[in-house]
A and B are shown apart, each in its own frame.
Chain A
Amino acid sequence: VTTESRPPDGWGAGAGPPGGGPAAGVLVVEDDHAIREWLRDALTDEGYAVVAVETGRAALARLASWRPRLILLDLKMPDLDGWGFRAAQLADPAIATIPVVVMTAAAGAGGTRAEAIARLTPAALLRKPFDLDVLLDTVLRLLEGPPPD
């Protein structure tokens, strides 16, 4: 299931596309329905163009025709999980450079688990549960400056 949102007409106070340019695209890859709905709402409210999908495979399919500025990636997913998605992404030069934020609820994420996540070379790591401010700050920081290419 793929849901897309466009920035609504009439931004609220303080809202608008960051940098004043066209809305930046963010791909959310998350199997949990409630979290996916939250991320879509929260980022859409900030003026991003959000596409939210449930699995790594759906994400790869979407990337074939659309290039977002950022990917928010859950790790534990059915079909193709975050690890498999990241490997496929890095193997495809057309999409390999899109920065990825990894979201994980792995408890006590230390030791071998932390090392494994580091090998995914994420642009940022968000440990669930994370606050809205942290999410928005992370996204904003990664989208500062001109888009690549």
Chain B
Amino acid sequence: VNADADPGAATAGASAGDAAARRSDQDDRSRRRTEDALRLSEERYRRFVAQSSEGIWRIELDAPAPVSLPPDAQIAHFYRHAYLAECNDAMARMYGYGAAGELVGARLGDLLPLSDPDNAAYLRAFIAAGYRLTDAESHEADRDGNPRSFLNNLVGVVEDGHLVRAWGTQRDVTERRRTELERQQFASLAESSGEFVGMCDTELRPFYVNSAGLRMVGLDDLEQARRTPVQAFFFPEDLPFLLERFFPRVQRDGRGEVEIRFRHFKTGAPLWVIYSIVALTDESGRPSGFGTVTRDITDRKRAEAERERLLEAERAARAEAEAANRAKDEFLSIAAHELLTPVTALKGQTQTLQRAVARQQVTPERLARVLVSLNASADRLAVLTRDLLDVARLRTGRLPLRPQTLDLAAFAGGVVDAYRERIGPDHTLSLAVEPEGGVSSLPAVRADPVRLEQVLTNLLENAVKYSPAGGPVRVRLSATGRRGASAGATGEPGTSGTPGALLLVEDEGIGLPPDSEETIFQPFGRAANAEQQAIRGMGLGLHICRQIAGAHGGRLWATSPGEGRGTTVSFWLPAAPDSPLAAGAAPEPAGDD
């Protein structure tokens, strides 16, 4: 820079002769050039200072501050003696003035209120750093007393152990600070909310989730949330709706709300929420993501589900009651039909006989035949009435039972022997206790002997009745609920593992059509093949037997390999509570594995 020319050299040659005069002219020109250069440089500097958007200032101390003083004493000294000696218009405007001239001369305390402890700290940092600060924030006040925040770069000038002045630049960060503060307040508001507050970008990557939200869905921290795409917060089956319909609609309308389930990240449990979201935009209005305030309504949903469950239970109970009523009506209707049939025969045959007697048309043979028929109809009415009474009592649980502890093998033997007297030559009847010779392995049972005989007789009658071509009827007895017990072949769940006695009645008769194993236990339920072959029966016997078995804590069921291939009816009774075998103390059969 030309301004660096030595002005002293020009002055030294001023007293010489012509040459000196010539030199002197040269010197004058040189000095003027130097002065011009200086003036130009100073103007450039002033223009720069005036036009700078940063505040540029110089502070002088009217009494220099000894740097040896303790920091707080120095600060007190600053406040007594420091004043603004120079600044630009930009700085004046930062304090609410129109031009630099209005601000110059202000004391330090006018700008940097001593009341703000941050300012003392700011000055202490200035001293501690050797009278030099970079990007330090000061909290000052404008001409109306409004707080302003500035970011400062400043340096002090120390001469002879005293701080004489400082100069620096400053930038107004008041707006930025206010925005930051507002943001902090919003953040603390979001943090203190009990609801899930979250934001994500347009790619559905979360960048903020409050702590209540993290807790709600079982995320450990914000870092984990940021690594978890929004899709993972939901159940997969809800994603097509969310991605294809809900988010596009929010993007279009700016907001949206839906009741949906979050999935807890740790337990996988569903959380019912009201998922309320808004589309976020950046300063230029472009979509920048989504924000949500989501409320957990799991409790409400649970209450709703509970209410729904109760309603459903009530509906089911009502339907069941109606079905029971219909079944009762149906039962009554069939029962009446069954009762009217023998009554029709009784009345008709009686009236016909009376008419024939009046006409003297009756032969002894005819009389005998009709009387047999009348007696059979009366028997049928009696049996039917007894069965209907049994059904009614069993239904209402009013069938009186007088249980005794019985040896089932001996009891069944007695019933079989008695029944053998009543069957024709086409059938054979046998009884076996399994395993071979294992009579003592059968547990005692508790049963009402009258009802037990009723069941066993009915099963034997059925076996004979439904094997019209004759054949063997086998009664087999075995123990259940112990290792080596032979139950399970006919597989009714819940019996083979329980101590008890199983009685099977097997025939080689007409068998059961597929799916009629249960039908035959319904009131008036009969297998189709029995009807087709015109085998008499009202369909009450097995129903009654099953009810009696149930009343004893036992079970009754039927199996058949198919039509024409025989039927096995299984009757299981639990071991008597005082039976030693019930307690599992029985000796194991030999060869047991």
Residues of A that sit less than 8 Å from B by CB: 12-15, 31-35, 37-39, 41-42, 45, 54-55, 76, 78-79, 105-108, 128-133, 135
Are the C-beta atoms of B534 and A129 separated by less than 8 Å?
Answer: no
Residue of A nearest to B352 (CB): A42
A105–B348 CA distance with the chains assembled, in angstroms: 14
List 29 interface pairs A-B (beta carbons < 8 Å), by A numbering.
Answer: A12-B361, A13-B359, A32-B341, A32-B344, A34-B376, A35-B348, A37-B370, A37-B373, A38-B345, A38-B348, A38-B349, A38-B373, A39-B348, A41-B356, A42-B352, A42-B355, A45-B352, A45-B356, A45-B361, A54-B534, A78-B533, A107-B340, A108-B336, A129-B340, A129-B347, A129-B348, A131-B347, A132-B348, A132-B355
The residue from A33, A129, A132 contacting B352, defined by CB atoms under 8 A apart = A132
Q: Is B343 an interface residue (CB 8 A)?
A: yes
Q: Determine how close the nearest CB of chain A comes to the CB of B325; give it in whole angstroms.
A: 15
List of A residues within 8 angstroms of B360 by Cβ: 12
Are the C-beta atoms of B532 and A15 separated by less than 8 Å?
Answer: no
Residue of B nearest to A106 (CB): B337
Are the C-beta atoms of A15 and B359 separated by less than 8 Å?
Answer: yes
Are the C-beta atoms of A14 and B341 separated by less than 8 Å?
Answer: no
Residue of B nearest to A36 (CB): B345
Q: Determine how close the nearest CB of chain B comes to the CB of A119; give it in whole angstroms.
A: 20
Are the C-beta atoms of A78 and B532 separated by less than 8 Å?
Answer: yes
List of A residues within 8 angstroms of B345 by Cβ: 32, 34-35, 37-38
List of A residues within 8 angstroms of B343 by Cβ: 128-129
Majority DSSP secondary structure for residues of A touching B = loop
A35–B360 CA distance with the chains assembled, in angstroms: 22
Residue of A nearest to B343 (CB): A129
Q: Which of B337, B361, B532 has the most CB of A within 10 A?
A: B361
Q: Determine how close the nearest CB of chain B comes to the CB of A74; give it in whole angstroms.
A: 9
List of B residues within 8 angstroms of A37 by Cβ: 345, 349, 369-370, 373
Are the C-beta atoms of A42 and B348 separated by less than 8 Å?
Answer: yes
List of B residues within 8 angstroms of A133 by Cβ: 351
Q: Determine how close the nearest CB of chain B comes to the CB of A117; give it in whole angstroms.
A: 14
Are the C-beta atoms of B344 and A128 separated by less than 8 Å?
Answer: yes
A76–B376 CA distance with the chains assembled, in angstroms: 20
Residue of B nearest to A80 (CB): B532
List of B residues within 8 angstroms of A128 by Cβ: 340-341, 343-344
List of A residues within 8 angstroms of B369 by Cβ: 37
Are the C-beta atoms of B332 and A132 separated by less than 8 Å?
Answer: no
List of B residues within 8 angstroms of A45 by Cβ: 352, 355-356, 359, 361
Residue of A nearest to B356 (CB): A45
Residue of A nearest to B336 (CB): A107
List of B residues within 8 angstroms of A107 by Cβ: 332-333, 336-337, 340
A12–B345 CA distance with the chains assembled, in angstroms: 24
Q: Determine how close the nearest CB of chain B comes to the CB of A82; give it in whole angstroms.
A: 13
B351-367: CB near A (< 8 Å → 1, else 0) gives 11001100111000010
Q: Determine how close the nearest CB of chain B comes to the CB of A64; give it in whole angstroms.
A: 21
Q: Determine how close the nearest CB of chain A comes to the CB of B347; give it in whole angstroms.
A: 5
Residue of A nearest to B526 (CB): A78
A105–B384 CA distance with the chains assembled, in angstroms: 16
List of B residues within 8 angstroms of A105 by Cβ: 336-337, 340-341, 344
List of A residues within 8 angstroms of B346 by Cβ: 34, 129
A33–B535 CA distance with the chains assembled, in angstroms: 12
Q: Is B377 an interface residue (CB 8 A)?
A: yes
A106–B338 CA distance with the chains assembled, in angstroms: 9
Q: Determine how close the nearest CB of chain B comes to the CB of A113; give it in whole angstroms.
A: 9
List of A residues within 8 angstroms of B366 by Cβ: 41
Q: Determine how close the nearest CB of chain B comes to the CB of A80; give it in whole angstroms.
A: 10
List of B residues within 8 angstroms of A12 by Cβ: 356, 359-361
Q: Is B206 an interface residue (CB 8 A)?
A: no
List of A residues within 8 angstroms of B341 by Cβ: 32, 35, 105, 128
Are the C-beta atoms of B373 and A78 separated by less than 8 Å?
Answer: no
A31–B338 CA distance with the chains assembled, in angstroms: 13
Q: Determine how close the nearest CB of chain A comes to the CB of B482; give it in whole angstroms.
A: 45
Q: Which of A45, A54, A55 has the most CB of B within 10 A?
A: A45
Q: Is B175 an interface residue (CB 8 A)?
A: no
Q: Determine how close the nearest CB of chain B comes to the CB of A103; give it in whole angstroms.
A: 8
Are the C-beta atoms of A135 and B348 separated by less than 8 Å?
Answer: yes
Are the C-beta atoms of A31 and B534 separated by less than 8 Å?
Answer: yes
List of A residues within 8 angstroms of B532 by Cβ: 78-79
List of B residues within 8 angstroms of A32 by Cβ: 341, 344-345
A130–B348 CA distance with the chains assembled, in angstroms: 7
Are the C-beta atoms of A41 and B333 separated by less than 8 Å?
Answer: no
List of B residues within 8 angstroms of A13 by Cβ: 359
A110–B531 CA distance with the chains assembled, in angstroms: 26
A39–B344 CA distance with the chains assembled, in angstroms: 11
Q: Determine how close the nearest CB of chain B comes to the CB of A110; give it in whole angstroms.
A: 11
Q: Determine how close the nearest CB of chain A comes to the CB of B372; give it in whole angstroms.
A: 10
A105–B342 CA distance with the chains assembled, in angstroms: 11
Residue of A nearest to B359 (CB): A12
> Which of B411-427 touch A at CB < 8 Å?
none
Q: Determine how close the nearest CB of chain B comes to the CB of A53; give it in whole angstroms.
A: 12
Are the C-beta atoms of B337 and A76 separated by less than 8 Å?
Answer: yes
> Which of B304-340 touch A at CB < 8 Å?
332-333, 336-337, 340
Since A105-B337, A130-B348 are in contact, a sample of 8 more A-B pairs with Cβ atoms closer than 8 Å, ordered by chain A residue number, is A32-B341, A32-B344, A54-B534, A105-B344, A128-B343, A129-B340, A129-B347, A135-B348
A54–B531 CA distance with the chains assembled, in angstroms: 12
Residue of A nearest to B351 (CB): A132
List of B residues within 8 angstroms of A42 by Cβ: 348, 352, 355
A38–B532 CA distance with the chains assembled, in angstroms: 23
A128–B347 CA distance with the chains assembled, in angstroms: 10
Residue of B nearest to A55 (CB): B534
A78–B343 CA distance with the chains assembled, in angstroms: 20
Say whether, besides A12-B361, A14-B359, A34-B377, A41 and B349 are in contact (CB < 8 Å): yes
Say whether, besides A105-B341, A128-B340, A41 and B534 are in contact (CB < 8 Å): no
Residue of B nearest to A104 (CB): B337
